[in-house]
Structure 1
Amino acid sequence: MSNKNIVWHDHHVSKQERSTIKGQQPCILWFTGLSGSGKSTVANAVETKLLQLQKHTYLLDGDNIRHGLNKGLGFSKEDRIENIRRIGEVAKLFVDAGTIVLTAFIAPFQSNRNWVRKLLKDGEFIEIFVDTPLAICEQRDPKGLYKKARAGEILNFTGIDSPYEVPKNPEIHIVNHDISVENAAQQVMDYLKTKGYLNA
């Protein structure tokens, strides 16, 4: 519900000015994939590489966000949609601050990812599909969640009894099995360098 008494307040300092002093082009690096696909691992490796180049970043991780901002949200379809909506709005603020923000979320629905993309200008949303087969994700099962889902202890678990919609046209497609974390992270860095995101 909109409130007619709430008016957008423009800032004196622009996004471009914030970006220029950081020597970079702000964007969202949106890592998506199944649980256990390696999203957070690759995102952390990319952020480390960006830090080495003295770039300004922040990593929003799915589990960490659910401890605070999205505490209280469950895993129903409605709650998953709200989870991504909030993250999209927060990530947009980071972009406005001139920051390269990395997000590591399953974000299973294409419509939700598209919604976040539409919040931003062209080129500011970079969808990164961390493509790891379900069988390998289950084999890894770092948090024991697949085992619980298979036993019926967790409902609405993506890949088991809740769908994951594969990205249709991701900017970066990482086939993340039989490759190193270094290799996966470098694919993202190469894209950023080639497209000029690491220059003001």
Structure 2
Amino acid sequence: MQLFLNATSPYARLARIILLEKDLLDEVTLRWCDPWADDKALLEVNPAGRIPALVTNDGTTLSESMLMAVYLDSVSSHVPMLPASHLADVLHLAGLGQNLMDAAFTTVIARKHYGTEIDQSELGRRRRRAIQRITQQLDSELHESQLAPSITLGEIACAVALDYLAFRLPEVHWKEAYPQLKAWHAAVIARDSFQQTAFM
């Protein structure tokens, strides 16, 4: 398999963490690239020019990190990240994590192209409100005592999103606002898969 990625995409990091947790990293060649430069090899496998893009052993390209997660969970014999016993709960958390990632990532990209004044636009203010609501909800739902030795897709998505928020939008100060969520997050990112994939 091949994984097209860069070091700062929260979506690519989610895919790498899943590969590590599923003990599949040795079966994948990491193809580091710049999606903003219309990387030729990336465009050949994913015409949208987006990362991550996972090319399976039979040459099929998967182009959304959550879809990759479902696929990788299915081809590994490790403990499922999408356990049938509480699938709705896991997908609920995965959705919150995905939405937080999207709001934070879109804010960062909008600022890159239009400057910080874009935050005052209708969409900028909407993204900011979404970030505030989601972090507040995560604080009410996630507790360090709930963590098990195995990890679910929902927990990975939320932890990656929160880490990305701290990395790219530190002015949000979610750790100061939500000490309970901070403790949960600290316990999750202590895992080796998060340490190996830290944003830089």
Q: TM-score, normalised by structure 2?
A: 0.31
Q: TM-score, normalised by structure 1?
A: 0.31
Structure 1 or 2: more strand by fraction: 1
Structure 1 or 2: more helix by fraction: 2
